[in-house]
Amino acid sequence: MSQMRGQVAFFLNGKLHQVSGSTCFLTLSDYLRRENALTGTKVVCAEGDCGACSVLKSSPVFLATPKPHFEMVNSCIALVAQMDGCVLLTVEALGELNNLHPVQKAMYESHASQCGFCTPGFVVAMVDMFESHKGACSEQEIKNHLTGNLCRCTGYQSIIEAAKSQSSDLYLHLRKKYLGKTVVETLTKFCRKALMVESQEAVLLAPCSKSELISVIKKHPKAVMIAAGTDLGVQRNKHGRRPPVLISLHLIKELYETKFLKDKVVVSARVTFSELRKSLLKKCPTVANFLDVFASPQIKNVATLVGNVANGSPIADAPPFLFALNARIKVLSSKTEKLIEIPIVDFYLDYRKLKLKTGELIWSVSFDLPSKNETLYLQKITQRKDLDISCVNVGFWSKKSSKAKLSDLRLALGGVAATPVRLQKTEKAFLKNQNLEEALKIAQSEISPLSDLRGSSAYRRLVVHNYLKDFLSKQVSL
């Protein structure tokens, strides 16, 4: 192991904080409110769904490429320890009573605040939006950016009007004020050393390299790995789950990489959904646009593709499109100290049971980039458009030969069995004879949906039937 340190280091509103012991295992929102009296940050849902706890974070600055920037995140489901190497801004850093930030002034003048619980989160979200845009934002861009923030009393129109009244020319350019050379150099110095923080509750370790990670896993093979920890934060707040040993991947630089090869992309374990979306906008716009309906901006700025795969949920958003694009999982084994590649179709064994042995973790996920003669069709079926848990996820892919004849097919679904599934029998039958009715019948035999609050078994079967019929009918060779 590299030289070890016992303190988490980050900047908060321009001041360096070094934290150790039990304080590292507080949620960030509790640390802000209870330890620092920064009560502008509110806690309402405590599960990352309402945006009242939003803060701005540059994460982590010593790894930033090409330069550090701020993104909004939920503070209620993140541990203080996860702020290591970061720069944080709360609503208090944006303006003062007699010198309001332009967004705060616009909220006031547009009568966009009543009870005030949601207001700081909306202010943070708007500041983030204007700091990351050039020129004025359209109404649709405003709505998209504010989807992670809920208002329970004012009504959204006045909030949207406040945002529409703004121009990026008014802004303070926060990265210039709070992400200067001295800040980056200070945090870089801290983060060259591996981290170990301990309390009576838990131990968190953060190695700096793959070799150090292997050593740590060998000593703690049953430790919980943290890439982003968004789901773990919810389980902690709502169900009291507190793993005794945590291993954070945030200091391993190569895990922030997205690599484009000739016909595929390799996404490492610390790449967030927001970063992945930006990378895929030109290379694979179908997937990039599909990511728009994944969670809130606050969650996507933290949550990772690898974490979504590792979660093992049958309704996870990412697996169906990864099945459709022939994804492969690279697993790091602490026993062999090598990377093992597993096709994603073989990765899910049963409900939340993965093809991972003790002492193994997901290092990266790779998937094919569709070519011109391939069709990728993705859908997320939910009860509402934004920020909803899936009822059924659809990931369909087809390839046609130079003569426009169907030559290959992948049909993947989520929400219809104990794991994400690929309809391999249906694929084989349809490729053989292109009999649509037969394929639809076989597909129903390959799924076993349950009924829950998001949809009945019968509804899920009907959804699968309709989407599959629509897709396959367009694949029939003429």
95-109 pLDDT, tens digit per residue, is: 887 888 889 999 999
Output the pLDDT for position 152: 83
Q: Do both 262 and 371 map to the same domain?
A: yes
Q: Where are the alpha helices (DSSP H) in 315-391?
A: 319-324
244 within a domain of the structure (yes/no):
yes
Output the pLDDT for position 402: 75
Q: Do both 393 and 465 map to the same domain?
A: yes
Radius of gyration of the chain (CA): 23
Single out the residue in 253, 288, 310 at which a domain terminates: 253
Single out the residue in 230, 253, 276 at which a domain terminates: 253
Number of structural domains (the chain) is: 3
Q: Do both 232 and 268 map to the same domain?
A: no
DSSP 8-state class, residue 335: T
268-279 pLDDT, tens digit per residue, is 999 999 999 999
Give mean pLDDT, residues 228-247.
93
478 within a domain of the structure (yes/no):
no
CB neighbourhood size of 417 (10 A): 17
- The C-alpha atoms of residue 368 and residue 425 are separated, in whole angstroms, by 22
Q: Is residue 146 a contact partner of residue 155, using CB atoms and an 8 Å limit?
A: no
CB neighbourhood size of 377 (10 A): 18
DSSP 8-state class, residue 434: -
Q: Do both 269 and 401 map to the same domain?
A: yes
Q: Which amino acid is at 37?
A: A
Output the pLDDT for position 169: 61
- CA end-to-end span of the chain: 62
Q: Do both 100 and 79 map to the same domain?
A: no
Q: Do both 208 and 316 map to the same domain?
A: no
Instruction: Tell me the CATH number at 304.
Output: 3.30.465.10
Q: Do both 239 and 261 map to the same domain?
A: no
Confidence of residue 171 (pLDDT cuts 50, 70, 90): low
Q: Do both 75 and 192 map to the same domain?
A: yes
- The C-alpha atoms of residue 362 and residue 256 are separated, in whole angstroms, by 13
Q: Do both 332 and 388 map to the same domain?
A: yes
186-220 pLDDT, tens digit per residue, is 999 999 999 999 999 899 999 999 999 999 999 99
Asked if residue 168 has pLDDT above 80, the reply is: no
Confidence of residue 66 (pLDDT cuts 50, 70, 90): low
Output the pLDDT for position 478: 46
Single out the residue in 232, 253, 274 at which a domain terminates: 253
Output the pLDDT for position 177: 87
16-62 pLDDT, tens digit per residue, is 999 999 999 999 999 999 999 999 999 999 999 999 999 999 988 77
- The C-alpha atoms of residue 318 and residue 80 are separated, in whole angstroms, by 28
CB neighbourhood size of 102 (10 A): 20
Using the structure block, give the residue that is written with the tokens 């084989």.
428
Output the pLDDT for position 116: 87
349 within a domain of the structure (yes/no):
yes
DSSP 8-state class, residue 133: S
Give mean pLDDT, residues 364-369.
98
251-303 pLDDT, tens digit per residue, is 999 999 999 998 999 999 999 999 999 999 999 999 999 999 999 999 999 99
Q: Do both 184 and 212 map to the same domain?
A: yes
Residues 6+ apart with CB under 8 A from 232: 224, 226, 241, 243
The candidate with the shortest Cα–Cα distance to 286, out of 321, 319, 258, is 321
Cβ-count burial of 346 within 10 angstroms (0-12 exposed, 13-18 middle, 19+ buried)?
A: exposed
Q: Is residue 415 a contact partner of residue 391, using CB atoms and an 8 Å limit?
A: yes
Q: Do both 321 and 424 map to the same domain?
A: yes
The candidate with the shortest Cα–Cα distance to 9, out of 232, 251, 247, is 251
Look up the domain containing 152 and give its range.
95-171
Q: Do both 53 and 107 map to the same domain?
A: no
317 within a domain of the structure (yes/no):
yes
389 within a domain of the structure (yes/no):
yes
Strands 194-198 and 4-5: parallel
**Residue-averaged pLDDT of the chain:** 93
Instruction: Tell me the CATH number at 127.
Output: 1.10.150.120
